A and B are shown apart, each in its own frame.
Chain A
Amino acid sequence: QQQVKQSPQSLIVQKGGISIINCAYENTAFDYFPWYQQFPGKGPALLIAIRPDVSEKKEGRFTISFNKSAKQFSLHIMDSQPGDSATYFCAASMDTDKLIFGTGTRLQVFP
Protein backbone atom coordinates (compact mmCIF):
# COMPACT_ATOMS: atom_id res chain seq x y z
CA GLN A 1 0.00 0.00 0.00
CA GLN A 2 2.89 2.31 0.74
CA GLN A 3 4.87 1.44 -2.40
CA VAL A 4 5.43 3.59 -5.45
CA LYS A 5 6.39 1.55 -8.51
CA GLN A 6 8.55 3.26 -11.10
CA SER A 7 9.52 2.25 -14.63
CA PRO A 8 11.65 1.93 -16.61
CA GLN A 9 14.78 1.34 -14.55
CA SER A 10 16.88 2.94 -17.25
CA LEU A 11 16.16 4.96 -20.36
CA ILE A 12 18.30 5.99 -23.30
CA VAL A 13 17.04 8.84 -25.45
CA GLN A 14 18.55 10.81 -28.29
CA LYS A 15 18.95 14.54 -27.97
CA GLY A 16 15.74 16.27 -28.92
CA GLY A 17 13.60 13.24 -28.13
CA ILE A 18 10.90 12.80 -25.49
CA SER A 19 11.73 10.99 -22.25
CA ILE A 20 8.82 9.37 -20.42
CA ILE A 21 9.02 7.86 -16.95
CA ASN A 22 6.02 6.24 -15.30
CA CYS A 23 4.96 5.68 -11.71
CA ALA A 24 2.06 3.87 -10.10
CA TYR A 25 0.77 3.88 -6.55
CA GLU A 26 -1.82 2.01 -4.49
CA ASN A 27 -2.63 4.27 -1.58
CA THR A 28 -5.47 6.60 -2.59
CA ALA A 29 -4.70 8.80 0.41
CA PHE A 30 -1.54 10.09 -1.26
CA ASP A 31 -2.08 13.73 -2.17
CA TYR A 32 1.30 15.03 -3.28
CA PHE A 33 3.37 13.63 -6.13
CA PRO A 34 6.80 15.15 -6.74
CA TRP A 35 9.59 14.27 -9.11
CA TYR A 36 13.18 14.62 -7.96
CA GLN A 37 16.27 14.80 -10.14
CA GLN A 38 19.61 13.51 -8.91
CA PHE A 39 22.96 14.05 -10.61
CA PRO A 40 25.90 11.76 -9.76
CA GLY A 41 27.49 12.69 -6.44
CA LYS A 42 24.69 15.12 -5.55
CA GLY A 43 21.55 15.01 -3.46
CA PRO A 44 18.12 14.79 -5.10
CA ALA A 45 16.50 18.11 -6.01
CA LEU A 46 12.82 18.82 -6.55
CA LEU A 47 12.04 19.15 -10.25
CA ILE A 48 8.26 19.45 -10.41
CA ALA A 49 5.31 18.34 -8.31
CA ILE A 50 1.56 17.88 -8.68
CA ARG A 51 -1.48 17.44 -6.46
CA PRO A 52 -4.39 15.22 -7.50
CA ASP A 53 -6.81 18.08 -8.21
CA VAL A 54 -5.16 18.66 -11.61
CA SER A 55 -4.38 16.23 -14.41
CA GLU A 56 -1.33 17.96 -15.81
CA LYS A 57 1.34 20.41 -14.77
CA LYS A 58 3.96 21.87 -17.04
CA GLU A 59 7.16 23.72 -16.18
CA GLY A 60 9.33 24.47 -19.17
CA ARG A 61 10.25 21.21 -20.88
CA PHE A 62 9.00 19.11 -17.94
CA THR A 63 5.39 17.94 -17.66
CA ILE A 64 3.67 15.74 -15.10
CA SER A 65 0.60 13.87 -16.30
CA PHE A 66 -1.62 12.54 -13.53
CA ASN A 67 -4.34 9.90 -13.87
CA LYS A 68 -6.20 9.66 -10.58
CA SER A 69 -8.51 6.80 -11.61
CA ALA A 70 -5.60 4.68 -12.80
CA LYS A 71 -3.43 5.73 -9.84
CA GLN A 72 -0.60 6.57 -12.18
CA PHE A 73 1.51 9.60 -12.94
CA SER A 74 4.30 10.22 -15.37
CA LEU A 75 7.08 12.64 -16.15
CA HIS A 76 7.59 13.80 -19.71
CA ILE A 77 10.77 15.58 -20.70
CA MET A 78 10.38 17.28 -24.06
CA ASP A 79 13.36 18.09 -26.28
CA SER A 80 15.63 16.03 -24.01
CA GLN A 81 19.15 17.38 -23.65
CA PRO A 82 22.43 15.73 -22.57
CA GLY A 83 22.30 17.93 -19.47
CA ASP A 84 19.08 16.12 -18.47
CA SER A 85 21.09 12.91 -17.98
CA ALA A 86 20.47 12.03 -14.35
CA THR A 87 18.49 9.68 -12.14
CA TYR A 88 14.84 10.63 -11.71
CA PHE A 89 12.72 9.63 -8.74
CA CYS A 90 8.99 9.86 -8.42
CA ALA A 91 7.57 10.06 -4.92
CA ALA A 92 4.27 10.29 -3.09
CA SER A 93 3.14 11.45 0.31
CA MET A 94 0.05 12.11 2.40
CA ASP A 95 -0.24 15.55 3.88
CA THR A 96 2.13 15.57 6.82
CA ASP A 97 3.57 12.13 6.23
CA LYS A 98 6.90 11.07 4.81
CA LEU A 99 7.85 10.92 1.13
CA ILE A 100 7.75 7.44 -0.37
CA PHE A 101 10.19 7.28 -3.27
CA GLY A 102 10.06 5.15 -6.39
CA THR A 103 13.06 3.03 -7.32
CA GLY A 104 14.55 5.59 -9.72
CA THR A 105 15.12 5.80 -13.47
CA ARG A 106 18.55 6.43 -14.89
CA LEU A 107 18.14 8.64 -17.94
CA GLN A 108 20.92 8.99 -20.50
CA VAL A 109 20.51 11.49 -23.32
CA PHE A 110 22.95 11.07 -26.18
CA PRO A 111 23.86 13.90 -28.56
Chain B
Amino acid sequence: DTAVSQTPKYLVTQMGNDKSIKCEQNLGHDTMYWYKQDSKKFLKIMFSYNNKELIINETVPNRFSPKSPDKAHLNLHINSLELGDSAVYFCASSRWTGENEQFFGPGTRLTVL
Protein backbone atom coordinates (compact mmCIF):
# COMPACT_ATOMS: atom_id res chain seq x y z
CA ASP B 1 0.00 0.00 0.00
CA THR B 2 2.90 2.34 -0.83
CA ALA B 3 1.62 5.84 -1.56
CA VAL B 4 4.21 6.94 -4.14
CA SER B 5 6.40 4.25 -5.64
CA GLN B 6 9.30 4.45 -8.06
CA THR B 7 11.18 1.86 -10.06
CA PRO B 8 13.97 1.11 -10.17
CA LYS B 9 15.50 2.07 -6.82
CA TYR B 10 19.00 2.02 -8.31
CA LEU B 11 20.07 2.51 -11.91
CA VAL B 12 23.67 2.22 -13.08
CA THR B 13 24.34 2.85 -16.74
CA GLN B 14 26.92 4.02 -19.24
CA MET B 15 27.17 7.47 -20.73
CA GLY B 16 25.15 7.84 -23.89
CA ASN B 17 22.49 5.29 -22.95
CA ASP B 18 18.76 5.98 -22.73
CA LYS B 19 16.91 5.03 -19.54
CA SER B 20 13.48 5.44 -17.94
CA ILE B 21 12.29 5.79 -14.37
CA LYS B 22 8.70 4.93 -13.53
CA CYS B 23 6.49 6.50 -10.88
CA GLU B 24 3.06 5.55 -9.64
CA GLN B 25 0.87 7.05 -6.93
CA ASN B 26 -2.18 5.41 -5.40
CA LEU B 27 -3.35 8.47 -3.46
CA GLY B 28 -5.80 9.65 -6.08
CA HIS B 29 -3.82 12.87 -6.48
CA ASP B 30 -4.15 15.05 -9.55
CA THR B 31 -0.64 16.52 -9.64
CA MET B 32 2.70 14.76 -9.94
CA TYR B 33 6.27 16.05 -9.93
CA TRP B 34 9.82 15.08 -10.71
CA TYR B 35 12.66 16.44 -8.58
CA LYS B 36 16.41 16.04 -8.89
CA GLN B 37 18.57 15.84 -5.76
CA ASP B 38 22.26 16.33 -6.45
CA SER B 39 25.26 15.08 -4.50
CA LYS B 40 25.02 18.07 -2.15
CA LYS B 41 21.40 17.11 -1.40
CA PHE B 42 20.01 20.16 -3.19
CA LEU B 43 16.42 19.47 -4.29
CA LYS B 44 15.18 21.10 -7.46
CA ILE B 45 11.93 20.66 -9.30
CA MET B 46 12.15 19.50 -12.89
CA PHE B 47 8.55 18.99 -14.03
CA SER B 48 5.01 18.89 -12.77
CA TYR B 49 1.92 17.43 -14.39
CA ASN B 50 -1.70 18.04 -13.49
CA ASN B 51 -4.15 15.47 -14.83
CA LYS B 52 -1.67 14.41 -17.52
CA GLU B 53 -1.04 18.02 -18.57
CA LEU B 54 2.42 19.58 -18.24
CA ILE B 55 2.26 22.50 -15.79
CA ILE B 56 5.88 23.21 -14.83
CA ASN B 57 8.90 22.64 -17.02
CA GLU B 58 12.01 24.05 -15.42
CA THR B 59 15.15 24.69 -17.43
CA VAL B 60 15.88 21.03 -17.91
CA PRO B 61 17.78 19.73 -20.96
CA ASN B 62 15.39 18.36 -23.56
CA ARG B 63 17.10 14.99 -23.16
CA PHE B 64 14.68 14.65 -20.24
CA SER B 65 11.14 13.89 -21.28
CA PRO B 66 8.35 13.20 -18.81
CA LYS B 67 5.35 11.15 -19.88
CA SER B 68 2.07 10.81 -18.05
CA PRO B 69 -0.10 8.00 -19.44
CA ASP B 70 -2.73 8.68 -16.77
CA LYS B 71 -2.95 10.80 -13.67
CA ALA B 72 -1.58 8.03 -11.43
CA HIS B 73 1.63 7.60 -13.42
CA LEU B 74 4.45 9.94 -14.36
CA ASN B 75 7.50 8.43 -16.02
CA LEU B 76 10.81 10.11 -16.76
CA HIS B 77 12.76 9.17 -19.86
CA ILE B 78 16.34 10.36 -20.22
CA ASN B 79 18.17 10.22 -23.55
CA SER B 80 21.92 10.27 -24.14
CA LEU B 81 22.82 10.11 -20.46
CA GLU B 82 25.69 12.28 -19.26
CA LEU B 83 27.92 12.06 -16.18
CA GLY B 84 26.21 15.14 -14.73
CA ASP B 85 22.86 13.35 -14.75
CA SER B 86 24.03 11.23 -11.82
CA ALA B 87 21.72 12.12 -8.94
CA VAL B 88 18.73 10.88 -6.98
CA TYR B 89 15.46 11.49 -8.77
CA PHE B 90 12.31 11.82 -6.70
CA CYS B 91 8.75 11.58 -7.85
CA ALA B 92 6.11 13.34 -5.75
CA SER B 93 2.39 13.97 -5.85
CA SER B 94 -0.15 16.37 -4.37
CA ARG B 95 -3.93 16.48 -4.39
CA TRP B 96 -3.97 19.32 -6.91
CA THR B 97 -1.71 22.10 -8.08
CA GLY B 98 -1.76 24.58 -5.23
CA GLU B 99 -2.34 21.89 -2.60
CA ASN B 100 1.11 22.38 -1.35
CA GLU B 101 1.69 19.21 0.67
CA GLN B 102 3.67 16.96 -1.57
CA PHE B 103 4.19 13.26 -0.94
CA PHE B 104 7.54 11.97 -2.13
CA GLY B 105 8.52 8.57 -3.42
CA PRO B 106 11.61 6.74 -2.15
CA GLY B 107 13.84 8.00 -4.95
CA THR B 108 15.85 6.45 -7.77
CA ARG B 109 19.61 6.73 -7.51
CA LEU B 110 20.97 7.11 -11.03
CA THR B 111 24.70 6.60 -11.58
CA VAL B 112 26.14 7.33 -15.00
CA LEU B 113 29.59 5.83 -15.63
Q: Which residues of A contact B (CB under 8 A)?
A: 32, 34, 38, 41-46, 49, 87, 89, 93, 95-96, 98-99, 101, 103-104, 106
Contact = CB atoms under 8 A, between A and B. Distances in A.
A46 to B, nearest CB: 5
A34 B98 CA distance: 13
Interface of B: 4, 33, 40-45, 48, 56, 58, 90, 92, 97-98, 100-107
Contact of B45 (A42, A43, A98): A98
Contacts of B58: 98
A10 B45 CA distance: 23
B100 A49 contact: yes
Contacts of B33: 98
B100 A99 contact: yes
